[in-house]
Chains A and B, each alone.
Chain A
């Protein structure tokens, strides 16, 4: 049982690191925005995995708050950013 939790945690950490790599290396702001969204979703998955591992529902309020804030960020950034072609 604990092996499964450890594997899930390692996979989530690796996903977050790869998203950070794309966030640094992405050639355009849209790539960085997509990588940021991926990192936020990975954080949500990590919170859910933590809530499942330690049977504790304290993290869920933070999970819902992060889902809402990720919504605001990911919708407003493509609307109000400047184009890269200039």
Chain B
């Protein structure tokens, strides 16, 4: 039983390390900043969680598993925020290859939504003005 658990932990750690290596290869090979943001914030986090799970299995019965859970929780909470900040900054500075994009759902200069109310309070005009998505996504 103990040997099986140790093997499971070792294989989990190896898988997590291979995920980290894959993320680093993607970080080197991807063409622009917005693409490089993805392996650093998705693949790397999955690899780290696998490694932490392996360490938790290996350290079974210890009090310090709470620290592993805490580190994993911090990483899971923080990495989407980091990805959002980096992606927004990179988009604003054009740190992306426009020729590789298929759709740009965030226009560079968003249309100013006319918020002046109609006199007859018709909601249809507002619905029609939002037909192409929200006006100011920032």
Contacts and interface: CB of A to CB of B under 8 A. Distances in A.
A51 B93 CA distance: 41
A50 to B, nearest CB: 9
B34 to A, nearest CB: 9
A65 to B, nearest CB: 9
Contacts of A38: 23-24, 27, 39-40, 44
Contacts, number: 171
Interface of B: 6-7, 9-11, 13-14, 16-18, 20-21, 23-25, 27-28, 33, 36-37, 39-41, 44-45, 47-48, 51-52, 54-55, 57-59, 62-64, 67-68, 70-71, 74-75, 78, 81-82, 85-86, 88-90, 92-95
A48 B93 contact: no
Contact of A68 (B23, B36, B68, B74): B74
Nearest to A41: B44
Contacts of A53: 13
Contacts of A78: 82, 85-86, 88-89
A74 B25 CA distance: 21
Given A34-B37, A48-B16, A63-B71, 6 more contacts: A1-B10, A8-B17, A15-B23, A41-B75, A49-B16, A49-B17
A61 B71 CA distance: 10
Contacts of A19: 24, 27
Judged by DSSP, the binding face of A is helix
Interface string A26-54: 00101101110110011011001101110
B71 A11 contact: no
B86 to A, nearest CB: 6
Contacts of A68: 74
B47 A45 contact: yes
Contacts of B44: 37-38, 41-42
